[in-house]
């Protein structure tokens, strides 16, 4: 009974601590927010009461929406004026790129019902191996199944061919004005995820991420010792990208001498040094190449068979390691090997050490590996043994550490979880994920999204909860327009309005307003596209769209940015252009805007919709899900108009049901999150955004944004120090498909193939890019300066061109009735897990690119090729990548001590795949043909 008693005592203490900091434990004496019921700080400004939401919310939302549209159009007008300058007028290489649109085949198979049925049959056949007791099907059954496969293949091929014909027949929307108008996303809906530090009292969310390493010192044997890099301003460990300054920042001159490379973390940069021209961004990177000098490499290596000088007597550089050098290696335990071969292990050990928390017991890396190989019974026995050892310790320091660990709801043992109410589906799903890195399995959280601030963007509107001083309810404001101007000296004026509305969670859902609301700089970590709107995609009335385009072109000829004009005269010119433009835009969008805002306002008004933020009962994620109506926005490709809500004052039913309401929906039902095990090449793997967000489920909230995290693969883990192929600067992945699904490899692809490898992720990442400005990009070509105007212009143009390639295929999907029919099942299925099929991507051939496919510790921190020279690194990378292309199907897990290359060779040799067996019967050929014709 002693262990249970100790656990109960620890639980009581821990629960008391959590309750004291729990937002729901506070008693609110007024409708105003208190520090305990918000996650976002905001200034305390006065509010003016508007009235009850049922009569005032929808009109106020519409008013604010059109103010936001006006701001977006003004931003586009300034950008277009600059894009037409002589230095940007010539066509860019991206505009002259091969226009062949391809790469969407895998995505089409993932969402079509017939292809998914084939995938299920394929998985069943793979599981039924010949060496089992599986009863082979009869000839008739096998023939019927083969006919279904042929039918699915024929339908899929016809759909893909129709899409290609529609795409190639779609008028090119490459005019820059249309690209700029598409970038506004006036009818797009997105979930915006902002960076937030852990809340007070909820420190179990602070799980350290992989740090940026730096060379600390050398031992007397010239062996490098690595440690975490610290911010030169705040002294915290840098765990994402950093910013270098060749000179000491001005605010530090009084306290320190000049430092050649002043390292600044992202938080300090955004707060104190943002936009300074002498400060530039650096990706998190591997420090091996810069730490081992030629002299050091010769001191470290003492191998007698490795010459330290060439035939002419000149000293050689021994690191990075050349394959021709025969360094001493050993596979025996306790054996000696050349220290140069152990540098990768030193990097891994240093990263691992920096990821341990102060209250977490330090477990050696070798012990972590041993635990990862234990089965559940052996692991439970080890835990019981350790528990007995802990109870024998009497020192207060040790007891305190144990108590602090026990307050964390992330302990693996379910009986030790604190503050839970029953079994959470999120916990069960996460615990079932066997491919979570083994040393992080202890950190699975009860409330994985509680520390994530999420907002819903509807066109120019942003709707969120959890913001301080917003009457304890929801806040509606305007977003910052996209960063489009190519010039640093852009005279683009800020939005003239900073209006905000709050909806209080009282019986009337009272609406409050602010006329000049202060807004700070946003730091988004990821964006999840929910709805792709139809404007300027070729779906709506082209006459109105062409008129809008011509008005913008004519307006961009006017000198509204002439420094010789007064600000008042500039404003008059801008207002005159927008006065002509706004009625046309309203005529194009108004019917759909009414449906969008009516649907969302009805959810905000409904008493069942919780507005007050709580990390456990109404997180920002839950709030966003609650106000986005699945019945209105859930259909992947809207076929027939569903019963959209009628806004007050609508004259007719038909006017209130525009069709199509939107282009594509990536929205999913709240209960659709599952971690499906990938068994075959036809299963849908998690996409890039899905994997990034999954890190939150075990406390990894210190990550950089998703774009910088993807860059880390090439610069830090793989140690290339650069991208290997075109298109990776903005879309940092390898689009090569594994298991022979598509012949084109990354490097030979065009931009269309590259972005259609992950359509949901590409659309989402483009939105995140458009919210960044030039200071948030690392210099190109090794320069130590922010991007030039020409580089920045190409950056923006490439993003808009990529978005246009996605939109052209999306528009083609509407014109192919067979595709619309084949995807209806996604919306009507009672199985909510099918929703995530829209979010997946290709099976990546990129080795070790799946975050949760890196089960062995060495691969998780650094690639096995990192100690080799660059040519050998690339060769080994491409060898492993091409090996995954040649595999017939999803391989089994790596065995203990097995490298990825050895696993691929074993899979090739075993060819352990099901081959159809039949019980032969005497069936005539005409009977066979007749059966196939009936099926097909």
For 331-351, the three-class secondary structure string (H helix, E strand, C coil) is CCCCCCCCHHHHHHHHHHHHH
In the predicted model, is pLDDT for residue 335 greater than 70?
Answer: no
Cα-based distances in Å from 210 to 168, 440, 700, 819, 861 = 45, 12, 10, 43, 8
pLDDT band at 157 (very low <50, low <70, confident <90, very high): confident
Contact, 129 vs 916, CB < 8 A? no
Which of 624, 625, 671, 701 has the alpha carbon at shortest distance from 466? 624
**Mean pLDDT, residues 255-272:** 75
Locate 698 and state its tokens.
């075990």
Picking from 62-66, 448-452, 913-917, 929-933, which range would have the lowest pLDDT averaged per residue? 913-917
**Mean pLDDT, residues 143-148:** 77
pLDDT in tens, 549-587: 999 999 999 999 888 899 899 999 999 999 999 999 999
Give the C-alpha separation, 382 to 388, whole Å: 10
pLDDT band at 371 (very low <50, low <70, confident <90, very high): low
Q: What is the pLDDT of residue 849?
A: 84
Q: What is the pLDDT of residue 614?
A: 86
In the predicted model, is pLDDT for residue 379 greater than 50?
Answer: yes
Give the C-alpha separation, 9 to 373, whole Å: 32
Q: What is the pLDDT of residue 363?
A: 63
β-pair partners for 49: 512
Q: Look at strands 474-478 and 500-503 and give their pairing.
A: antiparallel
Give the C-alpha separation, 406 to 390, whole Å: 13
- Tell me the DSSP string of 562-615: -TTS-HHHHHHHHHHHHHHHHHHHHHHHHHHHHHHHHHHHHHHHSTTS--S-BT
Q: Is the peptide bond before 660 cis (omega within 30 degrees of 0)?
A: yes
In the predicted model, is pLDDT for residue 73 greater than 70?
Answer: yes
Q: Which residue has the higher pLDDT, 787 or 925?
A: 787
Q: What is the DSSP letter of 226?
A: E
Give the C-alpha separation, 297 to 553, whole Å: 61
Q: Which residue has the higher pLDDT, 814 or 853?
A: 814
Alpha helix segments (H runs only) across 135-287? 139-169, 176-183, 266-268
**Mean pLDDT, residues 922-933:** 45
pLDDT band at 261 (very low <50, low <70, confident <90, very high): low
Q: Look at strands 453-458 and 474-478 and give their pairing.
A: unpaired
Contact, 529 vs 764, CB < 8 A? yes
Contact, 271 vs 243, CB < 8 A? no
In the predicted model, is pLDDT for residue 538 greater than 90?
Answer: no
pLDDT band at 885 (very low <50, low <70, confident <90, very high): very high
Q: What is the DSSP letter of 467?
A: B
Q: HSE on the CB side for 67, CA within 13 Å?
A: 21
pLDDT band at 428 (very low <50, low <70, confident <90, very high): very low
In the predicted model, is pLDDT for residue 434 greater than 60?
Answer: no
Which residues are within 8 A (CB) of 234 and not within 5 positions of it... i.e. 6 or more apart? 265, 267, 268
Q: Which residue has the higher pLDDT, 783 or 223?
A: 223
The length of the chain, given as a count of residues: 936
Alpha helix segments (H runs only) across 209-255? none
Contact, 710 vs 864, CB < 8 A? no
Give the C-alpha separation, 4 to 420, whole Å: 17
Which of 12, 838, 835 has the alpha carbon at shortest distance from 416? 12
In the predicted model, is pLDDT for residue 35 greater than 60?
Answer: no
Q: What is the pLDDT of residue 398?
A: 35
What are the φ and ψ backbone dihedral angles of 513, each rounded to 5 degrees? -135, 155
Give the number of other Cβ atoms within 10 Å of residue 615's Cβ. Answer: 20
- Tell me the DSSP string of 439-452: GGGGG--SSTTTT-
In the predicted model, is pLDDT for residue 437 greater than 60?
Answer: no
**Mean pLDDT, residues 255-266:** 66
Which of 878, 840, 920 has the alpha carbon at shortest distance from 720? 878
Q: What is the pLDDT of residue 255?
A: 44
Q: What is the pLDDT of residue 399?
A: 34
Q: What is the pLDDT of residue 86?
A: 84
* 3-state SS class at 402: helix
pLDDT band at 703 (very low <50, low <70, confident <90, very high): confident
User: What is the average pLDDT value for the chain, to the nearest integer?
Assistant: 79
Domains in the chain: boundaries: 213-350
**Mean pLDDT, residues 872-901:** 83
Percent of the chain with pLDDT over 90: 47
Max mean pLDDT range (440-444, 651-655, 839-843, 927-931): 839-843
Q: Give, for 386, the enclosing helix (H) or strand (E).
A: helix 376-391
Sheet holding 474-478, edge to edge: 48-52, 510-514, 500-503, 474-478, 461-465, 453-458, 189-194, 524-532, 664-665
Kindly tell me the sign of the dihedral angle through the C-alpha atoms of 685, 687, 691, 697.
negative
Q: What is the pLDDT of residue 652?
A: 44
Which of 628, 612, 608, 606 has the alpha carbon at shortest distance from 461? 628
Q: What is the pLDDT of residue 932?
A: 47
Picking from 201-210, 436-445, 805-814, which range would have the lowest pLDDT averaged per residue? 436-445
Locate 777 and state its tokens.
């990009």
Q: What is the pLDDT of residue 30?
A: 37
Which of 771, 99, 900 has the alpha carbon at shortest distance from 481? 771
Picking from 150-164, 235-249, 894-908, which range would have the lowest pLDDT averaged per residue? 894-908
Max mean pLDDT range (190-199, 371-380, 467-476, 614-623): 467-476
Contact, 105 vs 160, CB < 8 A? yes
Q: Give, for 461, the enclosing helix (H) or strand (E).
A: strand 461-465
Q: What is the pLDDT of residue 517?
A: 84
Q: What is the pLDDT of residue 17?
A: 40
In the predicted model, is pLDDT for residue 53 greater than 70?
Answer: yes
What are the φ and ψ backbone dihedral angles of 619, each rounded to 5 degrees? -70, 170
Q: What is the pLDDT of residue 679?
A: 83
Contact, 66 vs 186, CB < 8 A? no
Q: What is the pLDDT of residue 193?
A: 95
Q: Give, for 458, the enclosing helix (H) or strand (E).
A: strand 453-458
β-pair partners for 279: 245
Give the C-alpha separation, 473 to 638, whole Å: 32
pLDDT band at 642 (very low <50, low <70, confident <90, very high): low
Render the burial of 796-822: b for 16+ CB within 10 Å, e for the rest: bbbbbbbbbbbbbbbbbbbbbeebbeb
Q: State the maximum Cα–Cα separation within the chain, in Å, rounded to a whole number.
A: 95
In the predicted model, is pLDDT for residue 637 greater than 80?
Answer: yes
Contact, 114 vs 822, CB < 8 A? yes
In the predicted model, is pLDDT for residue 923 greater than 70?
Answer: no
Q: What is the pLDDT of residue 519?
A: 76
Max mean pLDDT range (69-73, 98-102, 926-930): 69-73
Give the C-alpha separation, 26 to 47, whole Å: 24
In the predicted model, is pLDDT for residue 931 greater than 90?
Answer: no
Give the C-alpha separation, 819 to 165, whole Å: 13
Q: What is the pLDDT of residue 386?
A: 63
In the predicted model, is pLDDT for residue 137 greater than 80?
Answer: no
CA dihedral 851, 856, 860, 866 (to 10 degrees): -130
In the predicted model, is pLDDT for residue 415 greater than 50?
Answer: no
């Amino acid at each position: 009974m002693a262990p249970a008693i100790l656990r109960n005592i620890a639980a009581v203490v821990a629960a008391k601590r959590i309750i004291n900091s729990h937002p729901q434990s506070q008693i609110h004496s007024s409708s105003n927010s208190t520090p305990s019921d918000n996650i976002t700080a905001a200034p305390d400004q006065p509010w003016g009461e508007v009235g009850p939401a049922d009569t005032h919310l929808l009109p106020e939302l519409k008013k604010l929406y059109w103010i936001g549209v006006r701001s977006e159009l003004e931003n586009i007008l300034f950008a277009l004026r600059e894009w037409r300058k002589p230095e940007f007028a010539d066509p860019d290489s991206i505009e002259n790129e091969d226009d062949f649109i391809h790469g969407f085949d895998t995505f089409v198979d993932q969402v079509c019902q017939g292809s998914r049925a084939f995938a299920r049959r394929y998985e069943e056949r793979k599981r039924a191996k010949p060496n089992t007791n599986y009863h082979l099907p009869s000839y008739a059954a096998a023939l019927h199944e083969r006919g279904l496969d042929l039918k699915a293949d024929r339908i899929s091929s016809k759909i893909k061919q129709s899409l290609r014909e529609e795409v190639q027949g779609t008028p090119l929307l490459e005019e820059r004005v249309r690209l700029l108008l598409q970038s506004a996303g006036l009818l797009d809906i997105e979930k915006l995820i902002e960076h937030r530090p852990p809340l007070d009292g909820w420190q179990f969310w602070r799980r350290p991420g992989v740090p940026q390493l730096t060379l600390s010192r050398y031992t007397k044997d010239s062996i490098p010792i690595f440690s975490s890099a610290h911010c030169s301003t705040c002294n915290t460990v840098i765990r994402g990208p950093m910013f270098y300054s060749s000179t000491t920042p001005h605010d530090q001159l009084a306290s320190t001498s000049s430092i050649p490379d002043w390292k600044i973390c992202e938080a300090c940069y955004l707060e104190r040094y943002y936009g300074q021209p002498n400060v530039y961004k650096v990706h998190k990177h591997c420090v091996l190449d810069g730490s081992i000098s030629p002299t050091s490499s010769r001191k470290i290596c003492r191998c007698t068979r490795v010459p330290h000088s060439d035939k002419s007597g000149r000293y050689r550089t021994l690191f990075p390691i050349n394959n021709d050098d025969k360094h001493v290696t050993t596979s025996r335990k306790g054996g000696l090997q050349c220290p140069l071969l152990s540098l990768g292990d030193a990097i891994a050990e240093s990263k691992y050490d920096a990821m341990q928390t102060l209250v977490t017991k330090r477990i050696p890396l070798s012990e972590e590996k041993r635990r990862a190989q234990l089965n559940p019974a052996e692991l439970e026995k080890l835990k019981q043994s350790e528990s007995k050892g802990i109870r024998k310790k009497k020192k207060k320091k040790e007891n305190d550490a144990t108590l602090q660990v026990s307050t964390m709801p992330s302990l693996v043992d379910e009986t030790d979880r604190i503050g839970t109410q029953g079994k959470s589906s999120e916990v069960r799903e996460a615990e079932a994920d066997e491919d979570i890195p083994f040393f992080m399995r202890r950190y699975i959280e009860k409330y994985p999204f509680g520390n994530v601030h999420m907002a819903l963007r509807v066109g120019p509107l942003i709707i969120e909860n959890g913001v301080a001083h917003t009457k304890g309810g929801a806040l509606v404001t305007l977003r910052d327009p996209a960063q489009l101007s190519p010039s640093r000296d852009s005279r683009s004026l800020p939005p003239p309005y900073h209006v905000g509305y709050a909806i209080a969670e009282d019986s009337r859902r009272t609406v409050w307003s602010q006329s000049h609301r202060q807004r700070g700089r946003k730091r988004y970590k990821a964006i999840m596209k929910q709805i792709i709107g139809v404007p300027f995609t070729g779906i709506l009335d082209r006459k109105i769209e062409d008129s809008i385009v011509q008005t913008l072109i004519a307006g961009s000829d006017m000198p509204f940015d002439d420094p010789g004009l007064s600000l008042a005269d500039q404003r008059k010119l801008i207002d005159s252009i927008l006065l002509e433009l706004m009625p046309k835009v309203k005529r194009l969008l108004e019917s759909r805007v009414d449906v969008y805002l009516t649907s969302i306002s009805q959810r905000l008004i409904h008493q069942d919709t919780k507005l007050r933020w709580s990390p456990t009962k109404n997180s920002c994620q839950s709030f966003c899900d609650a106000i986005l109506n699945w019945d209105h926005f859930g259909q992947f490709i809207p076929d027939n108009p569903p019963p959209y809500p009628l806004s007050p004052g609508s004259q007719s039913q038909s006017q209130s049901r525009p069709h199509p309401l939107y282009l594509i929906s990536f929205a999913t039902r709240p209960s659709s999150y599952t971690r499906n095990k990938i068994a075959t090449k036809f299963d849908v793997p998690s996409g890039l955004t899905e994997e990034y967000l999954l890190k939150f489920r075990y406390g990894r909230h210190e990550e950089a944004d998703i774009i910088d995290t993807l860059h880390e693969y090439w610069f830090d883990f793989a140690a290339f120090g650069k991208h290997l192929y075109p298109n990776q600067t903005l879309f940092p992945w390898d689009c090569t498909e594994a298991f022979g699904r598509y012949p084109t490899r990354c490097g030979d692809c065009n931009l269309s193939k590259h972005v259609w490898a992950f359509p949901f992720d590409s659309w989402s990442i483009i939105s995140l890019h458009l919210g960044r400005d030039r200071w948030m990009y690392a210099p190109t070509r090794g320069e130590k300066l922010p991007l030039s105007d020409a580089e920045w212009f190409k950056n923006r143009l490439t993003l808009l061109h990529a978005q246009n390639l996605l939109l052209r295929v999306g528009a083609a999907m509407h014109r192919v009735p067979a595709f619309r029919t084949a995807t209806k099942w996604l919306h009507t299925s009672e199985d909510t897990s099918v929703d995530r099929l829209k979010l997946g991507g290709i099976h990546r051939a990129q080795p070790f690119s799946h975050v949760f496919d890196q089960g062995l510790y060495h691969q998780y921190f650094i690639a096995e090729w990192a100690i080799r020279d660059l040519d050998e690194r690339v060769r080994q990378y491409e060898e492993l990548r091409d090996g995954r292309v040649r595999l017939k199907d999803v391989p089994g897990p790596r065995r203990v001590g097995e490298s990825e290359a050895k696993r691929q060779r074993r899979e090739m040799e075993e060819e352990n795949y099901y081959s159809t067996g039949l019980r032969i019967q005497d069936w005539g050929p005409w009977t066979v043909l007749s059966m196939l014709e009936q099926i097909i």
